[in-house]
Amino acid sequence: MSNNKNIPYRINLPEELIPRQWYNIRADMKELPDPMLNPGTHEELKEEELYPIFCKALSHQEMDNKTRYIDIPESVIEFYKMCRPSPLIRAYCLEKELGTPAKIYYKFEGNNTSGSHKLNSAIPQVYYAKEEGIDGLTTETGAGQWGTALSMACAYYKMPLTVYMVKTSYNQKPYRKSIIETCGANIIPSPSETTNVGRAILEKFPGTGGSLGCAISEAVEAAVTATNSRYVLGSVLNQVLLHQSIVGLESKAAMEMYDEYPDIIIGCAGGGSNLGGLIAPFMKDKLEGKRNPYFIAVEPASCPSMTRGKYAYDFCDTGKVTPLAKMYTLGCGFQPSSNHAGGLRYHGMSPILSKLYYDGLLDEARAVEQTKVFESAVNFARCEGILPAPESSHAICVAVDEAIKCKESGEEKTILFGLTGTGYFDMSAYESFLNNTMSDYIPSDEDLQKAFEELPKIN
Amino acid sequence: MSNNKNIPYRINLPEELIPRQWYNIRADMKELPDPMLNPGTHEELKEEELYPIFCKALSHQEMDNKTRYIDIPESVIEFYKMCRPSPLIRAYCLEKELGTPAKIYYKFEGNNTSGSHKLNSAIPQVYYAKEEGIDGLTTETGAGQWGTALSMACAYYKMPLTVYMVKTSYNQKPYRKSIIETCGANIIPSPSETTNVGRAILEKFPGTGGSLGCAISEAVEAAVTATNSRYVLGSVLNQVLLHQSIVGLESKAAMEMYDEYPDIIIGCAGGGSNLGGLIAPFMKDKLEGKRNPYFIAVEPASCPSMTRGKYAYDFCDTGKVTPLAKMYTLGCGFQPSSNHAGGLRYHGMSPILSKLYYDGLLDEARAVEQTKVFESAVNFARCEGILPAPESSHAICVAVDEAIKCKESGEEKTILFGLTGTGYFDMSAYESFLNNTMSDYIPSDEDLQKAFEELPKIN
């Protein structure tokens, strides 16, 4: 079945090859992302201004554009050993099913209870907070992957955690709630009576199901008003991309063991944590002129921040309480439709990835429709034996398209994509696909234009 | 953190060390299990009598008491490569949490979409049926792990499959149904209108939620009445224990790499597939007098076939259509209470394990109560980062008890247990534990006595 008998189905790097340092791509970018701005003064944000929100070590990592390699704390490495190195899998069965000459690899991050790559950043974020003597953390979660990963990390470090979960998801996904509670975290449906912003929204919209923007606002308020508490976030931020670089570093090391190098690298992109981490060390090669892999970001057609958004300063949340970041955005007031890939329903995009895309280094962004994504997901589950998360399935979908192009052209390209997680908590989405009740939604130009009008007026 | 820096958290055997042969423990047993009997004549069953139910290769494996090692077909090895060798994990975090001098290892079988060890037998069962030109398979499923694994295997080999799922589970676990449908199988709530036995039961008990016994009867009827169709089963049978020996073979090979050997081996036991597979090669050492590991079977106090059952001939199903097997049984009419570990709610036990236990070679059976099991499960999830299935958590519970004994005695024992799968589809059980609405149920002596009265009169 294999077209190269020497390459195993699953490349498991030995434990001693877990990277000891994260890679900070900002140190190698010729042009840096534009700095974050204070939302009140529009002045460049100083590191100290982040201290009430994030702990100091993370605030520093957020602002550190210079240090190329940053040591992973020993305690974090110890935890990583429970689920890392994650396997790099050669998709022999998928290749055979497609009849493609392409070699397809995927880095699988779903083999931990949280079921996704989110754990890679959750662990260091909780570790640093613990080190600095922080007494509790707050966060928000939409689809629930981040909330689950963070609750696992907090269980491990015995750190109290409050998760504000978008009320609609809280009601629709009771098992996400259960798993977060199993890890010992406190979970509150948002909007709630526990914060000023929550109470104000409930008074104005008594029956609302909430939104990610509102949950962020509540989590931030809860952190900054409590004694010695901090807020943590699972994507978008520079610090998160830094931690996620472990995904790319391991992928590169595993491929090098077999003299392989990807021609095409594909990742789904919501806030950018997975794609940014996966491509980081390969982008380094490109920036240094050593190699020229082709990078593709895949986003849902229902929330097309890179393919149809503007590159502009915007708030990171809907409640407009965060600093401003220069990024591809649909406007923080954009309301994405109910796409089942909850992890990709974000109005903006990591400032690092936005800059790389703007500069033509991240080669392409491609928007795909939901039903096509689930078609790929079901085929993948049937032949590769892994039930993919809807988010990850965006990458599968484009990897399959590229492999079919290779079949047509006869090119033996090497494709690498990120399989960020499993879909065990997304079975209702699979069900609606199988029952033909899933619909595709693409926002109209008018919808987008209306959201763009709310962008802050800067530059 | 680790007390032996040379042993990694996860021992991943390389792909080339996937066993090429299953181990058939019957070839080394000094006394064989008593033979299966024809339920009508009470005569010893002949291999040919199984052909209408199982395909020929599997019928032969079921009866083969002599061949010590049986080649694993190349195609099955190719599939195994997608998820095997499964990791043997050193539970450093659990050891630290318990403060025990014991070394704890677990063989984790949950890293595939089916989420359990059931896939190990599903794949060869479908392979042999495909090889013999069988056109379709039927099975039943209770908790859903077997149904999921089999639907994955059938998707891989493009074999039509009909799953009779106990109606109560079908309604309570809609996502199990979805995942089976995602794999392309047909799923029917049982009892159904599709079989004579189903229609008869529905007429007699119009509102019934069904039972595993009824689902087995429907699946068997559907197989033997359809053209060129066969029935498959995920536990209890000799053939299943044979296939599951891969779990033990890999565990032993992984431990040998680090000069380790278990003093205590622990597995949960419902029908016996996991425990039988895990202990097989270690039992060989015991039978040959080379080593003397201590084996513990763990069962739910609510369904205590080994600890409180009789060693007697009984039907394998509630509908009394199957051959008779000599085993530890509570009587095929025994109705287990709603224990959340659906995979352990079986009235009988593998005839091989039953014989080993009867002969004192399987050292101990221990029954544990549900709430204690879930307490272990939650603690394990919090420190080891894996959400265990309720079934697997029975083994965790006893492993923890043994590790605590080591703490008290100061003994540095090496403990190995089977972590058969993940609990993603069991969150409602976790929820009832966390909400303190979970209850323990232990059948009374009178309940058991009543069920024993229905045992067939043989000998």
The helix/strand/coil state of B112 is coil
Q: Which residues in chain B are closer than 8 Å to A384, comparing Cβ atoms?
A: 82
Among the candidates B176, B208, B231, a domain finishes at B231
Residue A78 inside a domain? The answer is: no
> What's this model's pTM, rounded to 2 decimal places?
0.95
A112/B385 CB distance under 8 A: yes
Neighbouring residues of A327: CB distance < 8 A, sequence distance ≥ 6: A305, A311, A312, A314, A348, A349, A350, A351, A354
Top residue of A159, A424, A438 to mutate, by most chain B CBs within 10 Å, is A424
B427/A174 CB distance under 8 A: yes
Residue of A nearest to B149 (CA): A385
pLDDT on residue A1: 38
Q: How far apart are CA A420 and CA A342, in angstroms?
A: 13
Taking the CA atoms of residue B368, residue B370, residue B373 and residue B377 in that order, the dihedral angle to the nearest 10 degrees is 160
pLDDT on residue A319: 75
Residue B2 inside a domain? The answer is: no
Residue of A nearest to B157 (CA): A383
Q: Which residues in chain B are closer than 8 Å to A378, comparing Cβ atoms?
A: 182
- B200 and B339 belong to one structural domain: no
Instruction: Identify the band that residue B213 occupies on the pLDDT scale cut at 50, 70 and 90.
Output: confident
pLDDT on residue B345: 83
pLDDT on residue B8: 94
Residue B457 inside a domain? The answer is: no
Q: Which residues in chain B are closer than 8 Å to A119, comparing Cβ atoms?
A: 385
The answer to whether B273 and B232 are in contact (CB under 8 A) is no
| Buried/exposed code over A373-408 (b: 16+ C-beta within 10 A; e: otherwise) | bbbbbbbbbbbbbbbbbbbbbbbbbbbbbbbeebee
Instruction: Identify the band that residue B2 occupies on the pLDDT scale cut at 50, 70 and 90.
Output: very low
The answer to whether B396 and B404 are in contact (CB under 8 A) is no
Question: Could you list the mean pLDDT of each consecutive 10-residue stretch along chain A, which spans 459 residues?
Answer: 69 95 98 96 96 97 98 97 95 97 97 91 98 97 92 96 91 88 95 92 86 86 95 95 98 97 97 97 98 97 96 89 94 80 86 98 97 97 93 98 98 98 92 92 94 88
- A355 and A444 belong to one structural domain: yes
- B160 and B261 belong to one structural domain: no
- B124 and B227 belong to one structural domain: yes
Top residue of B9, B120, B438 to mutate, by most chain A CBs within 10 Å, is B9
User: Which DSSP category does B386 fall into?
Assistant: -
Q: How far apart are CA B152 and CA B286, in angstroms?
A: 36
pLDDT on residue A214: 83
Helix axes A212-225, A196-204, angle to 10 degrees: 150
Its ipTM equals 0.92
**Over residues B166-175, mean pLDDT:** 85
Q: How far apart are CA B94 and CA B110, in angstroms?
A: 18
A178/B428 CB distance under 8 A: yes
- A60 and A159 belong to one structural domain: yes
More confident residue, B212 or A444: A444
A8/B1 CB distance under 8 A: no
Residue A1 inside a domain? The answer is: no
Domain that holds residue A164: 21-70+117-231
**Over residues B183-199, mean pLDDT:** 94
pLDDT on residue A346: 86
Q: Which residues in chain A are closer than 8 Å to B9, comparing Cβ atoms?
A: 15, 81-82
Q: Which residues in chain A are closer than 8 Å to B89, comparing Cβ atoms?
A: 82
Specify the number of domains making up chain A.
Answer: 2
pLDDT on residue B174: 84
A175/B427 CB distance under 8 A: yes
Q: Which residues in chain A are closer than 8 Å to B381, comparing Cβ atoms?
A: 113, 155, 182-183
**B71, B42, B3, B89: which is closest to B380 by C-alpha?**
B89
pLDDT on residue B5: 55
pLDDT on residue B350: 97
Residue among A82, A112, A382 whose CB faces B9 most closely: A82
Residue among A81, A113, A427 whose CB faces B8 most closely: A81
Q: How far apart are CA A5 and CA A77, in angstroms?
A: 32
Task: Find the CATH number of the domain harbouring B319.
Answer: 3.40.50.1100
The helix/strand/coil state of B15 is helix
pLDDT on residue A3: 44
Top residue of A12, A78, A182 to mutate, by most chain B CBs within 10 Å, is A182
Residue B162 inside a domain? The answer is: yes
A387/B179 CB distance under 8 A: yes
Share of chain B above pLDDT 70, in %: 99
Q: How many residues are listed for chain A in this entry?
A: 459
Residue pairs between chains A and B whose CB atoms are closer than 8 Å: 128
- B267 and B174 belong to one structural domain: no
- A282 and A319 belong to one structural domain: yes
Residue B4 inside a domain? The answer is: no
**Over residues B31-55, mean pLDDT:** 96
Q: Nearest C-alpha of chain B: how many angstroms from A106?
A: 12
B220 pLDDT more than 80: yes
pLDDT on residue B3: 44
Residue B76 inside a domain? The answer is: no
Specify the range with the lowest mean pLDDT, choosing from A169-173, B334-338, B373-377: B334-338
Beta bridge partners of residue A139, listed in sequence order: A163
The helix/strand/coil state of A367 is strand
**Over residues B267-289, mean pLDDT:** 97
- B144 and B215 belong to one structural domain: yes
- A225 and A248 belong to one structural domain: no
B382/A155 CB distance under 8 A: yes
Residue among A175, A384, A428 whose CB faces B82 most closely: A384
Among the candidates B231, B253, B282, a domain finishes at B231
**Over residues B63-71, mean pLDDT:** 98
B386/A156 CB distance under 8 A: no
A427/B175 CB distance under 8 A: yes
The answer to whether B423 and B2 are in contact (CB under 8 A) is no
Residue B293 inside a domain? The answer is: yes
Q: Nearest C-alpha of chain B: how many angstroms from A98?
A: 14
The answer to whether B217 and B317 are in contact (CB under 8 A) is yes
pLDDT tens by residue, B91-108: 999 999 999 999 999 999
Q: How far apart are the first and last CA of chain A?
A: 57
SS3 content of chain B, % helix, strand, coil (to 5): 45, 15, 40
Among the candidates A188, A208, A231, a domain finishes at A231
Q: How far apart are CA B233 and CA B252, in angstroms?
A: 26
Q: Which residues in chain B are closer than 8 Å to A183, comparing Cβ atoms?
A: 381-382
- A59 and A189 belong to one structural domain: yes
- A126 and A162 belong to one structural domain: yes
Q: Which residues in chain B are closer than 8 Å to A78, comparing Cβ atoms?
A: 1
- B16 and B89 belong to one structural domain: yes
A183/B424 CB distance under 8 A: no
Residue of A nearest to B148 (CA): A385
**Over residues B365-389, mean pLDDT:** 95
A152/B111 CB distance under 8 A: no
| Buried/exposed code over A301-324 (b: 16+ C-beta within 10 A; e: otherwise) | bbbbbbebbbbbbbbbbbbbbbbb
Neighbours of B379 (CB within 10 A): 18
Residue among A93, A381, A425 whose CB faces B183 most closely: A381
Q: What is the mean pLDDT of chain B?
A: 94
Instruction: Identify the band that residue B459 occupies on the pLDDT scale cut at 50, 70 and 90.
Output: low
